[in-house]
């Protein structure tokens, strides 16, 4: 089976973009990715970052639902400690019904401390309890989706589901709306990041779909080990075909042109000003330096483009991804990191089309 294609939209917009420009670019990408044949598109949820300015992925998903036909959507992820679980369960159920199954649900414990602070959790506090919040929130959501009567008084939230009463013939007041997800329950995905990722363990225990933010081969290997060990211990099959990994990928006709478009375009601009500092701050750069056997002093934008990204002609990108697959064991969906091509989408959409038509069909999971 060939690798599937996805987009992950954070969306890394230049700080001067308006909310309307960001919203339009996100919907435009969903429509184009659907036409090109991408399998999925995910929108992240961040309430604090100027460069990652989607606070409500569900609004973009709803807007794109009517203009797309095949592509599947996911919030990646709803940060569960930042939501009332009953409200979220109802919204997710309704949205997945609107999408008639083209929806899966990403859940997470948190990302940036500023966003967590906005939601009432102080910086510097031991935030381990946010993982407990995720478990409690999911338990509530799953019980609401079952539509059986309960009342739950939890550590963080109270919630319930009422009994459906029997009414008189011709009186519909007793009828409860069915806001459970399409098919009963959505497929759930979890993103892992740190070396000994509790998120990956949780995903494995529950048989959820795993996703890794690419931060070097060691992290990928430990993520899969953690996930598959927890999955097998709990009676789930750990299937690499369900595994999503996000990566920066850009394809053009030649290696030279692809590198120029990345270095001089929106991807280079974003990495210089935002993501290279973030990669240092969150330890991701150390993983890449180790993989390349490089020196910290060597690291600049060009080094990242040559050694970390998958950039080049279709043949070069096929080679780079196949090399990563052989070293890591591979994954089922390449989740391409989206960037701000709002002013000139053509190079970006050309790249996505080449990824779909000329790269993905040539990548298969290694036979184990
Ligand atoms: N999780 C997502 O699902 N989507 C994101 O956009 C996202 N952005 C993140 C950005 C940064 C800088 C960090 C540190 C984390 C981000 N996360 C995101 C959360 C991680 O994927 C992960 O769920 C969290 O860091 C806990 O990971 P762990 O259990 O592997 O330690």
Three-state SS string across 290-313, please? Answer: HHHCCCHHHCCHHHHHHHCCEEEC
- Cβ atoms within 10 A of the Cβ of 278, count? 15
Length of the chain: 368
Helix ranges restricted to H, the chain: 19-36, 57-65, 85-98, 113-118, 129-146, 198-206, 217-233, 255-264, 266-270, 276-281, 284-292, 301-307, 314-328, 346-354
CA 259 distance to own-chain centroid: 25
User: Which among 10, 191, 196 is the best mutation to test ligand 1's pocket, defined by most ligand atoms within 8 Å of the CB?
Assistant: 191
- Can you give the pLDDT at residue 89? 98
- Cβ atoms within 10 A of the Cβ of 113, count? 15
| Per-residue model confidence as pLDDT tens digits over 58-116 | 999 999 999 999 999 999 999 999 999 999 999 999 999 999 999 999 999 988 889 99
Share of the chain above pLDDT 70, in %: 99
Please give the domain boundaries of the chain with CATH numbers for all domains: 4-168+175-255+311-362 (3.20.20.30)
Which tokens is 157 given? Answer: 């939230």
User: Which among 112, 213, 220, 222 is the best mutation to test ligand 1's pocket, defined by most ligand atoms within 8 Å of the CB?
Assistant: 213
Which tokens is 268 given? Answer: 């280079």
Q: Would you call 294 exposed, middle or buried from its count of C-beta atoms within 10 A (0-12, 13-18, 19+)?
A: middle
Q: Running DSSP on this structure, what letter comes out for residue 45?
A: -
- Can you give the pLDDT at residue 294? 94
- Give yes or no for a contact between 103 and 69, defined as CB atoms under 8 angstroms apart: no
- Can you give the pLDDT at residue 110? 86
Res 352 pLDDT > 90: yes
Q: Hey, whose CA ends up nearest to atom 10 of ligand 1?
A: 111
- Concatenating the DSSP letter of every residue in 125-193 gives S-TTHHHHHHHHHHHHHHHHHHT--EEEE-SS-EEEEPPPPP--TT--TTPPP--SPTTSS--EEEEE-
How far is it, in rounded angstroms, from Cα 190 to Cα 183?
20
Confidence of residue 14 (pLDDT cuts 50, 70, 90): very high
Mean pLDDT of all residues in 247-261: 98
Residues with CB under 6 A from ligand 1: 10, 44, 76-77, 106, 108-109, 111, 191-194, 197-199, 213, 278, 282
Cβ contacts of 57 within 8 Å, gap of 6 or more: 42, 43, 44, 45, 75, 76, 78
Mean pLDDT of all residues in 289-307: 95
For residue 117, report the distance from its CA to the centre of ligand 1, in Å.
16
* Residue the block writes with tokens 């990191």: 337
Label the pairing between strands 4-9 and 40-43: parallel
| Per-residue model confidence as pLDDT tens digits over 111-157 | 888 999 999 988 666 778 888 999 999 999 999 999 999 999 999 99
């Amino acid at each position: 089976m060939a690798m599937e294609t996805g987009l992950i939209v954070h969306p890394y917009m230049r700080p001067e973009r308006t909310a309307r420009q960001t919203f339009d670019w996100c919907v435009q990408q969903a429509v184009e990715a659907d036409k090109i044949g991408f399998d999925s598109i995910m929108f992240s949820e961040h309430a604090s970052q100027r460069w990652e300015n989607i606070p409500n992925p569900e609004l973009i998903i709803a807007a794109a639902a009517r203009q797309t036909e095949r592509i599947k959507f996911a919030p990646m992820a709803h940060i569960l400690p930042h939501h009332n679980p009953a409200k979220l369960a109802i919204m997710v159920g309704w949205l997945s019904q609107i999408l008639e199954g083209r929806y899966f649900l990403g859940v997470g414990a948190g990302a940036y401390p500023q966003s967590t602070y906005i939601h009432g959790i102080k910086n510097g506090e031991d935030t381990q309890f946010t993982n407990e919040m995720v478990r409690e929130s999911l338990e509530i959501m799953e019980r609401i989706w079952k539509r059986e009567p309960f009342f739950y008084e939890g550590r963080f939230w109270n919630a319930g589901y009422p009994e459906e009463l029997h009414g008189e013939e011709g009186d519909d007041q007793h009828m409860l709306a069915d806001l459970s997800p399409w098919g009963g329950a959505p497929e759930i995905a979890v993103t892992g990041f740190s070396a000994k990722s509790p998120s990956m363990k949780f995903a494995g225990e529950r048989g959820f779909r795993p996703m890794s933010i690419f931060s070097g081969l060691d992290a990928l290997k430990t993520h899969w080990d953690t996930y598959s060990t927890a999955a097998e211990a709990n009676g789930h099959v750990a299937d690499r075909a369900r595994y999503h990994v996000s990566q920066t990928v850009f394809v053009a006709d030649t290696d030279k042109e692809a590198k120029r478009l990345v270095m001089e375009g929106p991807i280079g601009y974003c990495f210089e000003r935002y993501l290279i500092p973030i990669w240092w701050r969150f330890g991701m750069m150390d993983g890449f330096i180790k993989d390349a056997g490089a020196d910290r002093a060597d690291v600049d934008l060009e080094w990242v483009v040559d050694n970390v990204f998958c950039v080049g002609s279709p043949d070069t990108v096929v080679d780079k991804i196949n090399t990563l697959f052989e070293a890591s064991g591979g994954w089922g969906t390449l989740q391409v990191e989206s960037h701000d091509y709002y002013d000139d989408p053509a190079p970006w959409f050309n790249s996505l089309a080449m990824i779909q038509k000329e790269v993905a069909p040539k990548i298969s999971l290694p036979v184990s």
